[in-house]
Amino acid sequence: MRIFYEQKIQEVCRAFKFPHKIQATAIIYFKRFYLQWSVMEHHPKHIMLTCVYASCKVEENHVSAEELGKGIQQDHQIILNNEMIVLKSLDFDLIVYAPYRSIEGFIDDMDDLHQTANSEVDTMMLTDAPLLYTPGQLALAALYKSNSALSVLDFERYLESVFSRQHFDCPVEQFIQIISSINHLVSQLQLPGTKEMRHADRKLKHCLDPSSSSHDDHKKKEKKSKHKSKRTASDAQLSDCENIRPACFILVPSSTEGVTFTRYGSSGE
């Protein structure tokens, strides 16, 4: 009988589209209540509704007693009359930890495994492994390596379950050797740097178009020649400036009436 009304709690919560947490809290309240009372003393139909109402309050998803009673065509006053009895029977210990949050934690671990495995596949695609192995083998190799770092599941047992469902011909031990070979290819991967690629690109350009190399050399020589000409002209101007002596004026008295300015220039006068 108790299980029947626990199932009704789930139906009511689904009808009102309450979160799973409210459903779980209401069922725990209901179970704990009947650890102290008999169905002969309090009708489960009334206590069921009161437990749903109390769980909505505790989980901060407020629904009035009138709204709850109207939704399931029951007198809301019954809910209010039994509220204090239920709370006292629970010793006002109303915090409930449901399994749903734990599921989220496990799923988060699986999400981490998923993301790490995707990164491993990204690296595998840069090797020759996609040409040598099937997509399923690459996927399991990525999961194997990711799980080695995160330790989310027992991978060998998981492989056994996969093989039993898919009816693979090769044994698990042989497949683990394939995984090791794939991971060895990944470990040998070396990504070239920008400097190395520039050097290789110049060589490739010369191989594809040898004339472009001589043209580039000619442009470099022209640029160097222009730079040298500018530098020579600049040095010549600097030399001319060094040979020019600044003009000066000397006051030479020519008579008693005035003073004559005699100029000595750079020509050696």
pLDDT, tens digit, 9 for 90 and up, residues 190-231: 877 888 778 878 887 878 777 765 555 556 666 666 666 666
Four-CA torsion 211, 216, 221, 227, nearest 10 degrees: 160
Q: How far is 172 from 176, CA to CA, in rounded Å?
A: 6
Report the distance separating Cα 24 and Cα 35, nearest Å.
17
Confidence of residue 92 (pLDDT cuts 50, 70, 90): very high
Answer yes or no: are the C-beta atoms of 120 and 183 closer than 8 Å: no
Domains of the chain (ranges, CATH numbers):
2-89 (1.10.472.10), 100-187 (1.10.472.10)
Spatial neighbors of 146 by CB under 8 A, at least 6 apart, are 113, 116, 117, 120
Give the rounded percent of residues in the chain with a pLDDT score beyond 70: 75
Find all residues with CB under 8 Å of 16, minimum gap 6, and list them.
Answer: 63, 68, 71
Residue 84 banded pLDDT, cuts 50, 70, 90: very high
Type of residue numbered 177: Q
DSSP state, 95?
A: -
- Cβ–Cβ contacts within 10 Å for residue 205, how many? 13
Whole-angstrom distance, CA of residue 233 vs CA of residue 11: 97
- Residue 219 and residue 61: Cα distance in Å, rounded? 77
DSSP 3-state of 239: helix
Residue 95 or residue 235, greater confidence: 95
Q: What is the mean pLDDT of the chain?
A: 77
d(CA 70, CA 167): 55
Question: Mean pLDDT over residues 65-93, rounded?
Answer: 84
Cβ-proximal residues to 76 (8 Å cutoff; 6+ apart), any chain? 64, 65, 66, 68, 69, 70
